[in-house]
Structure 1
Amino acid sequence: MGRHRITPHARADAEGAGDYDEDLITRLYREFGGPLFGHALKLTDYDRQWAEDVVQETLVRAWRHAPKLDREPGLLRAWLFTVARRIVIDGHRSRRARPEEVDLTRLAVVPVRDDSDRTLSAIVVGEALRHLTQEHREAIMETYLRGRTVKEAAKVLGVPPGTVKSRVYYALRALRQALQERDPT
């Protein structure tokens, strides 16, 4: 790497007195573009498009500040990397300051909670429960629907725990059979 010297012509252009100095941008890009892009890529969490924008904006700022660029390559590189870092920081700040953009195309496929299957299942089970004997239905209601233990259900129903177990067993068997008859699949 040779010493970077910005010509008086380039300084005049950067100050607005002349045309755009393509040579300045070309030299900066050729010498620092790769490392600058790698640096910007890390700063943007590997968002390639944003990193490319950061490199472009950094080079534009370098062109605007051409009179300040009469420095050693190491110092010029540090200046470019600092400018890139500040551009990314500004980008993060502006993204936090405004509401997040919503991709409307994804909204068309957003799953909406639908309890219709659950409701339908409850209706079918309710119908099947009605076909049980009262004793079997009460045993299921106390143990499964009210969440009581066999001992608690026995106390509520006024029967021994073994009777509750037996009623639940036969009730579940009858329910399974009734549900299978309703669903031929």
Structure 2
Amino acid sequence: MGRLIRRGPDPGRPAERLDTEPGLRAAYAAHGAELFRFALRQLGDEGAAEEVVQEVFLRAWRRADTYDPQIASLRSWLYAIARNAVVDESRRVAARPWRRTLTDSPQESRAAPVIDAADQAVVDAWVVEEALRRIRPEHREAIVATHLRGRAYAEVAAELGIPIGTLRSRIFYGMKALRLAMDEMGVEQ
């Protein structure tokens, strides 16, 4: 059974299922061009970028039952899939560079895929933000304070009014929950 996708600010429009052709078409119309530009910036190859976008929507269709609009926006979910597809494509090209040269004409010399660090940082930030929303508030608070803000354990524990051992436990179990949330989102770690 497919999940519903968010359609934007118009509450009067009926939501469409992502595992149906109309739902997938709506998702592609809303996000396909943006995902293509992202993949093109990462890979530097239009053909590979088109393949990545096709792969993103194929994976989205196959895993439509795992999408939950209460946890992540459709855009964030698709970008997480796109990030993995770009990495897969980069690895595929790196593992078999001779295949690329067999299909390219002599005039076409393509550079190796280059992943733009700024774009990657933005996508990674979206993915982490969505994963943090999935874990318990006390775990999220402990992880954000210590790992993302770089505050000392003793300082955070005192502020929260809990022993340092409790804070360490929250961080430990929070990190486990965060890894699980990222796995559920389809992020390869």
TM-score range normalised by the length of the shorter chain: 0.3 to 0.5
**Structure 2 length normalisation: TM-score?**
0.42
Structure with higher Rg: it is 1
**Structure 1 length normalisation: TM-score?**
0.43
Bigger fraction of residues in helix: 1
Higher relative contact order (CA 8 A, sep 6+): 2
